[in-house]
């Protein structure tokens, strides 16, 4: 049986390499990647030094130290999920406004096209008349 320390370190390293891979492949960008790298680093640090909880937990009045890890982890996940929804809402707003703007520009472009065509036609008719005279 391997030591728990190794298990956590391995999980931390795996998460870190997965994040780096995703950034490399352009699947994760800027602020998200940084957040997840911090998470991976925390997992590695706490994996290597699990005793950290034994020192910190009593300071927060937690009698059974590992529970602190669970509570902290869940709290951070909730914050992360909230920020993700905030970001998603921001993007949704942007996407909707862009869609609207695109439609407006398409319509305008079509109108400009039509008026240009009409002008060209007028010119042609004028030219024909002149030739006739």
Partner 1 sequence: MCLNFQSFSVPARLAVLIPAHNEAATIDGIVRAAKEHLGGDVVVIDDASTDGTAQIARSAGATVLPLSCNLGAWGATQAGIRYALKANYQQVMTMDADGQHLPEYLPLLLTTLVSGEADVVIGACTERGSRARQLAWGYFRKLTGLGIEDLTSGFRAYNKAAMRVLAAPEATLLDYQDVGVLLLLRYARLRIQEIPVPMRERDHGGSRVFPSWLVVGKYMLQTSLLCLAKVGMNGKRRVAMQR
List residues near partner 1 by CB under 8 A: 89, 92-93, 95-97, 99-109, 111-112
CA-nearest of 64, 47, 65 to 56 is: 65
Give the contacts of 64 (CB within 8 A, at least 6 positions apart).
57
Name which of 38 and 86 has its Cβ closer to partner 1.
Answer: 86
Helices 66-132 and 30-48, interaxial angle, to 10°? Answer: 160
Q: Which lies closer to partner 1 via its Cβ, residue 17 or residue 114?
A: 114
**Cβ closest to partner 1, residue 104 vs residue 125:** 104
CB 35 within 8 A of CB 29: no
Within 10 angstroms of residue 33's Cβ, the number of other Cβ atoms is 16
């Amino acid at each position: 049986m391997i030591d728990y320390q190794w298990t956590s370190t391995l999980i931390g390293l795996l998460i870190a390499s997965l994040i780096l891979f995703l950034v490399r492949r352009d699947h994760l960008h800027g602020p998200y990647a940084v957040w997840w790298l911090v998470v991976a680093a925390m997992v590695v640090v706490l994996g290597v030094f699990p005793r950290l909880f034994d020192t910190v937990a009593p300071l927060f009045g937690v009698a059974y130290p590992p529970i602190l890890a669970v509570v902290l982890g869940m709290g951070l996940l909730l914050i992360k999920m909230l920020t993700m929804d905030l970001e998603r809402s921001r993007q949704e707003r942007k996407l909707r406004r862009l869609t609207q703007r695109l439609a407006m520009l398409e319509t305008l472009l079509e109108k400009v096209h039509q008026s240009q065509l009409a002008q060209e036609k007028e010119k042609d008719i004028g030219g024909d008349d002149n030739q006739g005279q």
